[in-house]
Structure 1
Amino acid sequence: MSTYNFKKISTVPASKDFVDIILSRTQRKTPTVIHKNYKISRIRRFYMRKVKFTQQNFHDKLTTILTEFPKLSDLHPFYADLLNTLYNKDHYKLSLGQLNIARHLIDKVASDYTKLLKYGDSLYRCKMLKRAAMGRMVTVMKKQGPPLKYLEEVRQHLSRLPSIDPNTRTLLLCGCPNAGKSSFMNLITRAEVEVQPYAFTTKSLYVGHTDYEYLRWQVIDTPGVLDRPFDEMNTIELQAITALAHIRAAVIFFLDTSEKCGVPLDQQLCIYKSIKPLFANKPLIVVCNKADIINLEQLGKESPEKRELVAELERDHVPVRQMSTITHEGVMDVKKEACDSLLGMRVELKMRSRKAESILNRVHVAMPAPRDNKKRKPFIPANVLKAMENKKNAMETESTDKPRKKLEKDLEEELGDDYSLDLKKYKDLMVEEWKYDKIPELWNGFNVADFIDPDIFKKLEELEKDEEEREKNGFYKPDIKEQDEATRKIHQLALKIREKIKINWINRQLDRPGKKAVMSRVTSKRARERSVSRLRNEFSELGVDMSDVRGTNFTRTRSTSRGPPLKRTRLRSEAMTRSYSRGPSRDVSGVRDVEMADKMKKLGRKAQKERNFAGRKGEGDRHIYDLKPKHLFSGKRGLGKTGRR
């Protein structure tokens, strides 16, 4: 199999969660009550069912884990070596083997205790056997904690691996760290690999895809490799070695001739020589990156020794190309050459295979042989030739008469950095100046911006000043002197009423409970704000006849206090301060004695308690009135379904 969908592997629970899941399912899916009229045979079946059900759930869950995790023998060698590099295949096999052993042990425990339950002679003995069977199963699973935890970590890491097809058309990028592999991959593919100016930014394999010759190509970016033996390499470097060893691809080896990566050029060539055996039977291109800093010609002038090292590769018939991922110089040429070389190799291999021979045997390609030595030119009618000549002459005259219109691309090439895209110059308007108006809205063939008065704000200021002067001079005030006596009195009364309404509104705001200030007892006594005489004077000033108002409602005064009269309260307070032993009389309090009054207060507080509690409830409060409703938790159960448990 070329690819494997590691993301479909189900989650591996911890040992404690594993046991909780299985036991909970057993409790929910099997009967839970034994009635006193059950026979011993039915009791045995009851507990045997629980043991078998638990064993089957353990077996199914462990089988799912063992089947979903890939077997190294069934995988492609690339994936098998990659798993060995990342997780150590010995630990991986041991973990799966321990789960397999646990599955067999659980099956054996269930089989043994089922046989014992067949001969259980009492309910208690059957119950204890069931309990022992489940206890042994749980003990076996609790010992599988480390393998389950390890497999869950492997599953999480496998799900994050890229989906690599080892058999498809592939470009493999390798070289020393920080040589420009990820930058090249971002340019030719739609991938977005992180690029940073330090070594080992890429710590795992990254996959991108590109198109060439109407075919889909796979590009693999590998981590950087250092100059050391294979047995001293770390996990990051071994991923690149695994990809080079098992994937048949076009290899692009990157050299940094500027040595900005921190690795000298001779060490980079040592890396090339150390992994050169992995390039066998694969198309190879050596790319000298960062040509914008220093190219091969400048390298030959500055350091001929380093140029000679690169020349050795050319003498070994290895194609050496220059490239810059900053200026994009030579990027597409490298891609084209690598793809063409890989396509040629794949076609050659297919032609060598037996499959190609079997296809060619069934396909007949006719190759006609010439019957004489005459050269026969293609026949073209005379009218067609004449039409072609006329068209050609017309195109030539048109090209000579009219110069070609400059396009935006030509302007951009001429101006360079000074070029800015101007789309307004192509607008077709009656006046050229209208093209760059801020509001180029047209109505009936005219620009709306032409109808806006530029002095509108000055005229508005003049109008506002004129209005202010008129208000100061009293232009808008009515002339009361010219009006008759009745109208003037009405105006005066209306002014007084409006003023009184404002005063009353202010008094109401001051008398509000939340706004009223707390006065200390030491302050002097204030004059009364409301009185009958004051009300009579104010209404008489307003022109209301107040001569005959005796017996009206506002002239009758009454006490505003809600309690008993002042004399009675004073006597009561004096009696309470002198001695509290004597209780209040029946006609005053309505109770017999002090004890009865205290009891009445307690009863009142107790009765009010529930109302106070309910009064604090909000819209978000929830209350379950009965945790165990009687209709669900009383009576005998029938012989029907027990699914609700």
Structure 2
Amino acid sequence: MVVYNFKKIQIVPPASDFVDIILTRTQRKTPTVIHPTYAISRIRAFYMRKVKFTQQTCQEKLSQIIDDFPRLDDIHPFYADLINILYDKDHYKLALGQINTARALIDNIAKDYVRMIKYGDTLYRCKQLKRAALGRICTLLKKNKSSLDYLEEVRKHLSRLPSIDPNTRTLLVTGFPNVGKSSFMNKVTRADVDVQPYAFTTKALYVGHMDYKYLRWQVIDTPGILDHPLEERNTIEMQAVTALAHLQASVLFFMDISEQCGFTIEKQLSLFANIRPLFANKPLLFVCNKIDQMPYMNLPQHHRDMIENAVSTSNAKMFTMSNHSEVNVSDVKNYACDELLNHRVSTKVKGKKVSDVLNRLTVAMPVARDGVVREVSIPESVLKAKENGLAPRKTQKQKMNENGGAGVYSMDYTEHYEGMLKNNEWRHDVMPEIWNGKNVADFIDPDILARLEQLEREEEAADANAEMDQEEDIVSDLDEDDKATLRAIRDKKAVMVSEHRQAKNKNRSSIPRKFQRRTLDGYKESLEAVGVDSSNVHHAAAKAAKRSGDDEARGRKRNRAEADMEDVDMGDGDGDEDMGRGRSKSRGASASRAGSRGRSQSMVAPRSESGFRDEAMQATSMKIMKKQQRKMNKMARGGEADRHATPKLAKWQNTGKRGNGSTNSR
């Protein structure tokens, strides 16, 4: 089945935009700079490439336009005539023909100029030939401005056409304007066509879809047709005529017997007689609409005779209907669908393909085995049940229909448990895992919690005895002093583990060392533990306390120089030797504290020399450092933290590109 989808046609750009697209793409996709060192052969190839690329781009764009638009000779006659009515077939073909001619001319232009560029002797001559080629191509595109604009309008209108399948099951509604065609379509389909109390509300073909007998149907609402010659009908009316002529559908001719549409019954019957040739070989329904305003039996006798005569001469089926009260709406739809199905089957039977199918079909007819007459056999159990008035056994489907239907009823899966258990009430237990006539609930001990508690106490007592036995086994070969030491060690280990776990679980930060309180005795013990003499610690602490007391008495603070001078007296001796030793110690401590601030830099080793065992180790580390810096030096980096971004292209590689300005410079 061919499905026509005109919404996939790509947009046709105007001539000016077409030129911009072609030239911009050529500028972006081809090289733009020629260096003075290029040979003439390379210059020729440079400009030949630009001309060829422009020609290829035009070829792609114009071929896309020609291929997207439908060819009238290849599509269904319904769409071919519809395009002829809406857009004029000659104009349509002429526009596509001009585009095809432009494509061939562009190919010839490019071929000629590429041949001339091939023999260009200077850069200037090759460039001028390229400019001339591109200029002629752009001029040719501008000359086709009207064709491109016309095809764009056709594309917009084609994309708005309804998706009508000419080969599927179709109901076609026709008649005078304002006789109830759109109202009927809204009743039987999911479409929402505009309905107004004036003529020609529907100006185009509208399509709706419905389901009947598990099949998908399309209903086409046509514009109203007036009673005048074919050559005098306008574009709106000709759309309905085209649909009647080409679509194999069930035709519903609507007639307003109340004459509220503004046309008399005589005019409507005259239109029916004029378009009767379009109904040939199609199921036809003659629908007398708006019987809620004028019942059919209240019509004058001569009007009824005219209607019945028209129906009988056309082999149509007459229905009376009302969209407002929905009388006979479903009957009209069902009859039209059934007639179309029968007509399609009969058409296929009359066709040439049936003979090819029949010789592959075989109809099997049963043959009697013997001449014995066999009566219906009913089991005796069923007969006895009927005699005793017992109801037959219900099937699961019958039970389902009686108890809410599918999705509501849930069958009882424990019916076949009957007879398997000692008590049939056990079938509906929550846990029906059956074993030896019992389920799991039958094995539950009511005293299980008490027994579990007793068992846990026994296990705890057994574990305690096992630990004591194990401890006795470990220390059995030790004397009493060793056993006492071992117990103390184990107790201390348990205390340390518990303190560590408590400290680990505390959600607090550790206290810095300078805020921790340290006593003099503890400090001396820590020094003695590492083997340092702490006999002078008390004397130094006393002198420090004395200095702090004097300073507080005088009400001033000592500067760093005074503190350094007084630190000289920390030794036991009072001689010059002790004085000199004290100064050297003070200077060493001062230099170590202030080395990073710039004081006594001559006494501190350079950073490049500190931390090495000997000169060989220093030389090896310097060699490794220089090797690691080699990559950064190649990238002109000052160091690891250098993030300076240098331009990746030289200036001559950035020149010659178009900016964001106007395109009029071409």
With structure 1 as the length reference, what TM-score do the two structures score? 0.60
1:135 to 1:335, Cα distance in 2 relative to 1, 3 A: same
Task: Give, in whole Å, the separation in 2 of the partners of 1:387 and 1:56.
Answer: 91
Output the amino acid matched with 2:301.
P
Q: Which residue of 293, 302, 307 maps to 2:304?
A: 307
Output the amino acid matched with 2:346.
E
Task: Give, in whole Å, the separation in 1 of the partners of 2:371 and 2:202.
Answer: 65
Gaps in structure 1 of 5+ consecutive residues: 394-628
**Partner residue, 1:138:** 138
Task: Give, in whole Å, the separation in 1 of the partners of 2:356 and 2:196.
Answer: 52
Task: Give, in whole Å, the separation in 1 of the partners of 2:122 and 2:209.
Answer: 70
1:72 to 1:637, Cα distance in 2 relative to 1, 3 A: same
| 1:246-285 to 2 correspondences below 5 Å | 246-285=246-285
Output the amino acid matched with 1:340.
D
Output the amino acid matched with 1:309.
M
Task: Give, in whole Å, the separation in 2 of the partners of 1:318 and 1:242.
Answer: 21
| 1:183-222 to 2 correspondences below 5 Å | 183-222=183-222
| 1:485-564 to 2 correspondences below 5 Å | none
1:251 to 1:118, Cα distance in 2 relative to 1, 3 A: same
Q: Does 1:112 align with 2:112?
A: yes
| 1:227-626 to 2 correspondences below 5 Å | 227-299=227-299, 303-316=300-313, 317-368=315-366, 378-384=376-382, 390=389
1:376 to 1:215, Cα distance in 2 relative to 1, 3 A: farther
1:385 to 1:91, Cα distance in 2 relative to 1, 3 A: farther
Task: Give, in whole Å, the separation in 2 of the partners of 1:318 and 1:75.
Answer: 31
Q: Say if 1:174 and 1:252, in contact at 8 Å, map to a contact too.
A: yes
- 1:318 Cα deviation (Å)? 2.0
- 1:348 Cα deviation (Å)? 1.0
Task: Give, in whole Å, the separation in 2 of the partners of 1:369 and 1:290.
Answer: 58
- Indicate the SS of the match to 1:324: coil
1:274 to 1:124, Cα distance in 2 relative to 1, 3 A: same
- Indicate the SS of the match to 2:131: helix
1:376 to 1:340, Cα distance in 2 relative to 1, 3 A: farther
Q: Say if 2:253 and 2:284, in contact at 8 Å, map to a contact too.
A: yes
User: How far does the alpha carbon of each residue in 1:497-540 deviate from its partner, in whole angstroms, 9 at most, with x for none?
Assistant: xxxxxxxxxxxxxxxxxxxxxxxxxxxxxxxxxxxxxxxxxxxx
- 1:392 Cα deviation (Å)? 8.2
Q: Does 1:635 align with 2:633?
A: no
1:378 to 1:293, Cα distance in 2 relative to 1, 3 A: farther
Q: Say if 2:223 and 2:237, in contact at 8 Å, map to a contact too.
A: yes
Task: Give, in whole Å, the separation in 1 of the partners of 2:87 and 2:2.
Answer: 20
**Partner residue, 1:65:** 65
1:340 to 1:50, Cα distance in 2 relative to 1, 3 A: same
Task: Give, in whole Å, the separation in 2 of the partners of 1:223 and 1:392.
Answer: 63
| 1:18-57 to 2 correspondences below 5 Å | 18-57=18-57
1:100 to 1:362, Cα distance in 2 relative to 1, 3 A: same
Output the amino acid matched with 1:67.
D
Bigger relative contact order, structure 1 or 2 (CA pairs below 8 A, ≥6 apart): 1
- 1:203 Cα deviation (Å)? 0.6
1:377 to 1:357, Cα distance in 2 relative to 1, 3 A: farther
- 1:387 Cα deviation (Å)? 5.2
User: How far does the alpha carbon of each residue in 1:112-136 deviate from its partner, in whole angstroms, 9 at most, with x for none?
Assistant: 1111101111111111110011010
1:388 to 1:355, Cα distance in 2 relative to 1, 3 A: farther
Task: Give, in whole Å, the separation in 1 of the partners of 2:373 and 2:193.
Answer: 59
- 1:311 Cα deviation (Å)? 1.6
Q: Say if 1:174 and 1:181, in contact at 8 Å, map to a contact too.
A: yes
User: How far does the alpha carbon of each residue in 1:573-622 deviate from its partner, in whole angstroms, 9 at most, with x for none?
Assistant: xxxxxxxxxxxxxxxxxxxxxxxxxxxxxxxxxxxxxxxxxxxxxxxxxx
- 1:4 Cα deviation (Å)? 1.4
- 1:385 Cα deviation (Å)? 5.5
Task: Give, in whole Å, the separation in 2 of the partners of 1:370 and 1:392.
Answer: 36
- 1:306 Cα deviation (Å)? 1.3
Q: Say if 1:28 and 1:643, in contact at 8 Å, map to a contact too.
A: no
- Indicate the SS of the match to 2:227: coil
Task: Give, in whole Å, the separation in 1 of the partners of 2:339 and 2:386.
Answer: 41
- Indicate the SS of the match to 1:90: helix
**Partner residue, 2:569:** none
Task: Give, in whole Å, the separation in 1 of the partners of 2:194 and 2:282.
Answer: 28
Computing the radius of gyration from Cα coordinates, the structure with the larger value is 2
| 1:161-172 to 2 correspondences below 5 Å | 161-172=161-172
- 1:375 Cα deviation (Å)? 7.1
Task: Give, in whole Å, the separation in 1 of the partners of 2:211 and 2:220.
Answer: 14
| 1:81-100 to 2 correspondences below 5 Å | 81-100=81-100
User: How far does the alpha carbon of each residue in 1:6-61 deviate from its partner, in whole angstroms, 9 at most, with x for none?
Assistant: 01100000000000001000001111111100111111111111111111101110
Output the amino acid matched with 2:352.
R
1:29 to 1:210, Cα distance in 2 relative to 1, 3 A: same
- Indicate the SS of the match to 1:362: coil
Task: Give, in whole Å, the separation in 2 of the partners of 1:391 and 1:231.
Answer: 80
Q: Say if 1:29 and 1:643, in contact at 8 Å, map to a contact too.
A: no
Output the amino acid matched with 1:268.
Q
- Indicate the SS of the match to 2:359: helix
Task: Give, in whole Å, the separation in 1 of the partners of 2:362 and 2:345.
Answer: 20
**Partner residue, 2:9:** 9
Task: Give, in whole Å, the separation in 1 of the partners of 2:161 and 2:391.
Answer: 60
- 1:371 Cα deviation (Å)? 7.6
1:112 to 1:286, Cα distance in 2 relative to 1, 3 A: same
- 1:380 Cα deviation (Å)? 3.3
Q: Say if 1:2 and 1:76, in contact at 8 Å, map to a contact too.
A: no
Task: Give, in whole Å, the separation in 1 of the partners of 2:354 and 2:659.
Answer: 65
Task: Give, in whole Å, the separation in 1 of the partners of 2:384 and 2:221.
Answer: 58
- Indicate the SS of the match to 2:236: helix
User: How far does the alpha carbon of each residue in 1:201-238 deviate from its partner, in whole angstroms, 9 at most, with x for none?
Assistant: 11111111111111111111111100011110010100
- 1:314 Cα deviation (Å)? 3.8
Q: Say if 2:283 and 2:336, in contact at 8 Å, map to a contact too.
A: yes
Question: Identity across aligned pairs (percent)?
Answer: 58
Output the amino acid matched with 1:321.
F
Q: Say if 1:184 and 1:325, in contact at 8 Å, map to a contact too.
A: yes
Task: Give, in whole Å, the separation in 1 of the partners of 2:271 and 2:353.
Answer: 39
Q: Say if 1:250 and 1:341, in contact at 8 Å, map to a contact too.
A: yes
1:392 to 1:354, Cα distance in 2 relative to 1, 3 A: farther
Q: After the TM superposition, which of the residue ranges 244-253 and 1-10 deviates more from structure 2?
A: 1-10
Q: Say if 1:313 and 1:320, in contact at 8 Å, map to a contact too.
A: no
- 1:352 Cα deviation (Å)? 2.1
Output the amino acid matched with 2:330.
M
Q: After the TM superposition, which of the residue ranges 273-282 and 311-320 deviates more from structure 2?
A: 311-320
Q: Say if 2:269 and 2:310, in contact at 8 Å, map to a contact too.
A: no
With structure 2 as the length reference, what TM-score do the two structures score? 0.58
